[in-house]
Amino acid sequence: MSWRERIAKMLAEGVPTRTDLPTRAYHGTTREFTGFVNNPDPATSVDRALGTHLAKDPALSNSFVMKYLNGPTDVAKDGGRVVPAVIPHESKFLEVPQPRYDWAKPDTPAWQAAQTDARAVEIMAAKVAYRRDPALLARYISESRNVPLDEAARHADAMAAGKSAAIHGRDYDLSRFLDNYGGQPYNDADRKVLADTARQAWQEQGYAGLKYVNTAPLEMSFGAKDPTSYIVFNPKDIRSQFARFDPAKADSSNLLSSVAGMAAVPAGIGALVDQSSYGARQ
């Protein structure tokens, strides 16, 4: 087969999409660190507990930094920087549903017209976790709607099975209940269980993280043009754009991994400071 015939055959069959190429992303931070860890604070929100947040547009990460640099000094005591990173191919990220508001006009920017990212991620994770663990849903119903636990358990079993339940005289299936009241548990322990359960379910399906539209006005107002953002579940899936891959360190969460003797450079968009002595943080 000639090269012309091979090209014609390839075009006829469709050019295959590569799913092994990394995605460039950026993380804005006011802390110094060598690598990422999933946030260990049980009081954090569900969207933060799921993993590390990065942006497709470096200006978006920079605006996050600037927001905190202009805030209390103890929040940004280490200064600010944007870490350029590589994460898995976009096909490895599950897109978060963020329905447009009814009032939004066709030309309203996505970050202004869509459901807020924190709420959308929270509801998405809750739907997965509560179906897998009805007892977790029962505790949430009991705490959020002041329902006795035994009664809440009956409601939870019904909603987890795709049925409706009458709570305080109103019928709710799981989607309607979460749309009305949100899905974030009131106590720290259950919040962690919810995030861990949802993350594990998505990882079992082969996803490396979530992809969403950043809707924070203070972050989008600093000149960012692309609101696309990511949550990466596993820290080992994040590498510095300057790192050389070492197969022996494939499971390491260290950003630079095999890079040695990297000199410090001024912090700013696209800048990565010397991280040889920093502790790992979110």
Distance of CA 249 to the CA centre of its chain: 24
Q: What is the pLDDT of residues 64-90, one digit of tens each?
A: 777 666 665 555 455 578 889 999 999
Which three-class secondary structure string do you get for 223-278? Answer: CCCCCEEEEECCHHHCEECCCECCHHHCCCCECCECCCCCCCCCCCCCCCCCCCCC
Average pLDDT over residues 193-222: 90
Give residue 50's pLDDT: 94
- Select, from the ranges 32-46, 151-165, 258-272, the one with the highest average predicted confidence (pLDDT): 151-165
Q: What is the pLDDT of residues 234-273, one digit of tens each?
A: 999 998 876 555 445 545 555 544 333 333 333 333 333 3
pLDDT for residue 181 is more than 70: yes
pTM of the model: 0.77
When the pLDDT of each residue in the chain is averaged and rounded to a whole number, the result is 79
Distance of CA 198 to the CA centre of its chain: 12
Residue ranges of the domains in the chain?
3-249
Give residue 71's pLDDT: 60
Give residue 174's pLDDT: 97
Give residue 251's pLDDT: 54
Output 107 or 36, whichever has higher pLDDT.
107
